[in-house]
Amino acid sequence: MSTPDFNLLLTLDILLTEGSVARAARRLQLSPSAMSRALSRLRETTGDPLLVRAGRGLVPTPRALALREEVRRLVQDVQAVLRPDETLDLPRLTRTFTLRTSDGFVESFGAALLAAIAEEAQGVRLHFLQKPDKDSAPLRDGRVDLETGVIEASLGPEVRSQALFADRLLGVVRGGHPLCNGSITARRYAEGRHVIVSRTGLEGDAVDLPFLPPGLVRKVDTLVSGFSSALALARASDLIATVPERHTQNLRDGMFSFPLPVASQVFTVSMLWHPRLDADPAHRWLRGKLRRVCTG
């Protein structure tokens, strides 16, 4: 059985609407001869003349009249399927989005994001997932809907991204720590006891290292996997934690934060997603909410 040519549906719809090969050709931007060939194919396919000459014009056959409304409906249905989906009924939306974020992001932005979502779509739930690495595979295979983080060169080209905010590193110690008194110099900072964040457990993979000056040597006592753990240890000891300012705003309550006395780079935190969700109305709405919460 031969595969039907669905382009003929659109051609037939235009022909039946215009009642003229020449006018139909102009609407479809075809030559009159190409339109005549298309009409011949339609006649062969349906086994009916469809349009016959009457004086100087063409009139539809009874079969063509019977097909007219059905063909019009089919063409409209196909156009609706191919048209970008702009419909989004937020009060009726029921969906769970998985967000993979760095440690501290939920504490700083999670509550505001949940409140913003609940204002419009109470059927939407968020699943916050800890981000243990930079692997973009969870985005590609659909396990994660949205991710936040600093874009690196290793990020796959198939991942979309949009900047959320700029951040910088701070030093943080407990109240009453020796660094709370006197000038904080690069030497005092480097020679203090440090807790650093490393997802691999290796000092050379510390997450803050790319933003610190090359050659900086710190006395590292402890390694942890996240910012909240680093701050919890610093809060209860003489350890110095180096953490992002905005990511850890709520986690640093009651602690002493100070600008680093060494040159450090400002970095951009972005949201990332897979292109298959780019045009999804609900996903676009979620991205807009996250962007407003982070920039607000």
How far apart CA 11 and CA 39 sit, in angstroms, is 8
For domain 169-265, which architecture applies? 3-Layer(aba) Sandwich (3.40)
For domain 7-82, which architecture applies? Orthogonal Bundle (1.10)
CA atoms within 13 A on the CB side of 264: 23
Conformational region of residue 38, where left means phi above 0, alpha means psi within -120 to 50, and beta covers everything else: alpha
How far apart CA 144 and CA 290 sit, in angstroms, is 15
Among candidate residues 169, 173, 175, 189, the one with its CA nearest the CA of residue 245 = 169
Give the chain's end-to-end CA distance (angstroms, integer). 60
How far apart CA 250 and CA 256 sit, in angstroms, is 13
Q: How far is CA 106 from the centre of its chain?
A: 17
The pLDDT of residue 136 is: 78
The pLDDT of residue 7 is: 82
* Unique residue bearing structure tokens 């097909």: 67
How far apart CA 295 and CA 289 sit, in angstroms, is 10
One fold for 90-167+268-295 and 169-265: yes
How far apart CA 100 and CA 254 sit, in angstroms, is 28
The pLDDT of residue 4 is: 66
* Residue 239 bridge partners (DSSP): none
Q: Return the C-alpha torsion angle 269, 272, 278, 281, nearest 10.
A: -70
CB 107 within 8 A of CB 250: yes
The pLDDT of residue 1 is: 44
How far apart CA 7 and CA 27 sit, in angstroms, is 14
Domain ranges of the chain: 7-82, 90-167+268-295, 169-265
Local confidence pLDDT in tens for the 296 residues of the chain: 456 677 888 898 888 888 888 888 888 888 989 989 999 999 988 899 998 988 777 888 999 888 888 888 788 777 766 666 667 889 999 999 999 998 788 888 999 999 999 999 999 999 999 887 777 788 887 889 999 988 875 566 678 899 999 999 999 999 999 999 999 999 999 999 999 999 888 999 999 999 999 989 999 999 998 899 999 999 999 999 999 999 898 899 999 999 999 999 999 999 999 988 888 899 999 999 999 999 87
CA atoms within 13 A on the CB side of 2: 4
Looking at domain 90-167+268-295, its CATH class is: alpha beta
